[in-house]
Amino acid sequence: MEVVIAPAEELAVLAADTIEALLRRKPDGVIGLATGSSPLQVYDELARRHAEHGLSFAHARGFMLDEYVGLPAGHPERYRNVIERDIASRVGWAAELVQGPDGLADDVPAACAAYEAAIAAAGGVDVQILGIGTDGHIAFNEPGSSLASRTRIKTLTKQTREDNARFFDGDVDAVPVHCLTQGLGTIMAARHLVLLATGTQKAEAVHQLVEGPISAMWPASIMQMHPHATVLVDDAAAGRLQLAGYYRQTYASKAAWQSL
């Protein structure tokens, strides 16, 4: 696992560099998409590169991490609409090339199985962008999630619903109780994991992810088992890392030929 501690703008550039490198070597590369605040600067940077340098998403495929259950198709906070707004529409990404779990499905297990099959049929995810919840979730794999889980329905914790109430005019009761989410096993099958975290509210979750024991209590800690995981954090989110000095020294002395 590589930990990079840098200002948020630099982290966004590094993540965008990783996606750009993928699309230059593999135009039909598969990108895993997170919603929420953490990837927004990455999406801004990709939109800029699309507008100014013609970075093309014409053949790329996108798979979202998760979706709320029950939000109507036109709801602005439905994750499919959020992804359309935050990234897809800004980079000319055709709607049929970006998929998410179907939060309105009548047959939830079938929809989850179909989503797993779609990811597999696309050849798997090349670069997975991730955020982390204050309770250590990635996607919506809340504490207690099976470390081998696949796409399924989950119940959001009170903490996560409170954290996300800011997207629902501060009304925690408006935040859905259930979601469909890629499992930890699904995420671990992606070839490169790139997690972004900023702010002191993420510091404990980042510490547990990087330095804690691998445990379902801190679901992101499963990333310690991934052969290619990158954790991009600002000073505040790095605030509880015991080996922060070592991570800084390692990154500063990295060979020029090494990418993330």
* Helical segments of the chain, H only: 8-25, 40-53, 79-86, 108-121, 158-164, 184-188, 203-211, 244-252
Quick one: 111 or 145, whose CB is closer to ligand F6R?
145
In the block, residue with structure tokens 């605040």? 37
Give me the residue whose beta carbon is nearest to ligand F6R. Answer: 131
Residue range at the interface with ligand F6R (CB under 6 A); choices 96-104, 125-133, 224-232, 240-248: 125-133
Q: Which two tokens stand for residue 117?
A: 């099959």
66 belongs to the catalytic site? yes
66 belongs to the binding site for ligand F6R (CB under 6 A): yes
Q: What CA–CA distance (Å, rounded) separates 196 from 11?
A: 8
Site map (CB under 6 A) of ligand F6R, residues 12-51, x = contact: ----------------------xxxxx-------------
Residue 99 is a binding residue for ligand F6R (CB under 6 A) = no
> Which one of the listed residues 142, 163, 192, 207 is annotated catalytic?
142
Look at residues 102, 75, 247 and name the one whose alpha carbon lies nearest to residue 175.
Answer: 75
When asked if residue 150 is in the footprint of ligand F6R (CB under 6 A), the reply is no
Q: Does 137 bind ligand F6R (CB under 6 A)?
A: yes
List of residues 6+ apart from 79 with CB closer than 8 A:
35, 64, 66, 67, 68, 100, 103
Which of 4, 65, 190, 206 is in the footprint of ligand F6R by CB under 6 A?
A: 65
List residues bridging with 189 in a β-sheet: none
Rg (Cα) of the chain, in Å, rounded? Answer: 17
- 62 part of the interface to ligand F6R, by CB under 6 A: no
**119, 187 Cβ separation under 8 angstroms:** no
Sole binder of ligand F6R in the list 138, 193, 206, 231 (CB under 6 A): 138
Catalytic annotation on 207? no
Is residue 65 within 8 Å of residue 99, measured between CB atoms? no
Chain residues binding ligand F6R by CB under 6 A are 34-38, 65-66, 131-133, 137-140
Active site residues: 66, 135, 137, 142
